[in-house]
Amino acid sequence: MADKKPLIKEFTKGLIAENPVLRLVLGTCPTLAVSTSVTGAIGMGVAASIVLICSNIVISALRKIIPGKVRIPAYIVIIASFVTIVQMLVKAYVPAIDESLGVYLPLIVVNCIILGRAEAFAGKNSVIASAVDGMGMGVGFTGALLAMAVIREFFGSGSVAGFQIIQESWPVDPMIIFILPPGGFFVFGMLIAVANRMAEKKGKPKAELHGCESCPMAASCSLIGTDGSCDVKEATVK
């Protein structure tokens, strides 16, 4: 029983307290890009979760074998392998999802949530704990995507998961701005505000945008100073 409680905590932290999108503010690009529809959000969430769980397990199992100097390239190779497998399966069995996600499906390779969990957790903890962490973060990521997609699709096109809710005969019309980038940022900001409010009630700090010092590549970047500043135009890796 003593081991079950920490594992439950590892899972639940990704749902609200350390939600990768609303609390850690990671994976913002795919979140804004694919959350225009519920179908796309679920597809991206499930695909990213599978990659996250599998890569966490493998990285944790090999954490004592992978040399520290090449751990980031090794992590990327492992993640890319699982992304390739998932992409091939999606293309074979659910081509509609593959078409709706477009380039964002293969770009899961560079999703900072997956690489971040590999560096911050899987590379330092047991296989079981890493798998549970991956599941929690994956569910949290999918939940955030789904929440955004429901709001944006309903108000932007009058439908949810393709089912038309707002009929043409109704006196109100969908607000197309919700499925455009400005609407995505608006909904994203509102959900972060709600998450911050919930966190405040539990004594948690607010979500903040982090600088280069929080990047998994920060230790090997030659242009990050002691103050965390970085010249992104000339950034190189040692």
pLDDT value, residue 142: 94
The domain in which residue 183 lies consists of 4-207
Q: Are residues 139 and 232 in the same domain?
A: no
pLDDT value, residue 203: 67
Q: Are residues 140 and 25 in the same domain?
A: yes
Q: Using CA atoms, how far apart are residues 155 and 175, in angstroms rounded to an integer?
A: 6
Q: Are residues 168 and 219 in the same domain?
A: no
Q: Are residues 104 and 177 in the same domain?
A: yes
Q: Are residues 147 and 214 in the same domain?
A: no
Enumerate residue ranges in the chain where pLDDT < 50. 1-2, 211, 213-214, 216, 222-224, 228-238
* 3-state SS class at 230: strand
Q: Are residues 216 and 156 in the same domain?
A: no
pTM: 0.79
Q: Around Cβ 141, how many Cβ atoms within 10 Å?
A: 29
Instruction: Find how far residue 36's CA is from the centre of its chain.
Output: 16
Q: Are residues 200 and 214 in the same domain?
A: no
For residue 108 the two structure tokens come to 């899961």
Q: Based on the structure, what is the number of domains in the chain?
A: 2
Q: Are residues 119 and 217 in the same domain?
A: no
Q: Are residues 186 and 118 in the same domain?
A: yes
Q: Are residues 186 and 219 in the same domain?
A: no
Q: Are residues 176 and 226 in the same domain?
A: no
Q: Are residues 195 and 216 in the same domain?
A: no
For residue 59 the two structure tokens come to 């990285």
Q: Which DSSP string corresponds to 85-108?
A: HHHHHHHHH-HHHHHHHGGGTGGG
Q: Are 138 and 45 in contact (CB under 8 A)?
A: yes
pLDDT value, residue 165: 74
